Amino acid sequence: MEIIQILDILGVIAFSISGVLAAMKKGMDIFGIHIIAFVTSVGGGTLRDILIQSEVIWLRDMTYIYAIVATTIFAIIFRKKLNYLRKSLFLFDTIGIGLYTVVGIEKGISVGLEPSICILLGTMSACFGGVIRDILCNEIPVIFHKEIYATACIFGGVIYFSLSYFNIPQIFVFISAGTAVIIVRISAVLFKIQLPKVYKTTNNP
């Protein structure tokens, strides 16, 4: 199994747990929980593969489906243990975007896209599963209104291509870029760093 596929499956696992926690928070039934886990874990990657006209991997490789189902069942059974983790939804969501940013960038490189487009592809891969999850859970997607999210993915992408110019082992590039995404996202939350907001104006009579 290639390193990118391993990272992809790890991202699926992290996002599956994120989806399960979000669905249980909304009081969904077992079917609803599985659906949210599924779209959270493969939604961004599916959109990415459609855009670059690549094979949607989970349609042919059942490893992804098995990983989603097994992770969902695990998260449901051990939900009380997961709840002991402070902000567990945030934790698994952050791990997921770090892994999926790297996977998306690699997918873009494999089809010959420019670095800037690869970074955007990685950001979309990382963020859009969460966007779909939040919409189905009747929430405003985190990417649009809360702490640093997509910006962390873009920063990780810049780190990826910066390190790629040097004679550095590829695995170190993967780890450094993914870790950069996670560190930026966690730091933004801890220190309450946000992008400037444009507040709604009111019309005076």
pLDDT in tens, 101-134: 999 999 999 999 999 999 999 999 999 999 999 9
Counted domains in the chain: 1
Domain that holds residue 54: 3-141
Give residue 73's pLDDT.
95
If we measure between CA atoms, which residue out of 55, 161, 31 comes closest to residue 105?
161
Report which residue type is found at 51. L
Query: Is 147 domain-assigned?
Result: no
Query: Is 169 domain-assigned?
Result: no
CB atoms within 10 A of CB 169: 9
If we measure between CA atoms, which residue out of 10, 18, 7 comes closest to residue 129?
18
Q: Report d(CA 75, CA 42) in Å as an integer.
A: 17
Taking 50 as the pLDDT cut, the residues of the chain under it are 86
Query: Is 179 domain-assigned?
Result: no
Query: Is 190 domain-assigned?
Result: no
Query: Is 12 domain-assigned?
Result: yes
Region of residue 168 (left: phi > 0; alpha: psi -120 to 50; beta: else)? beta
Give the pTM. Answer: 0.89
Q: Which helix (H) or strand (E) holds 34?
A: helix 30-51
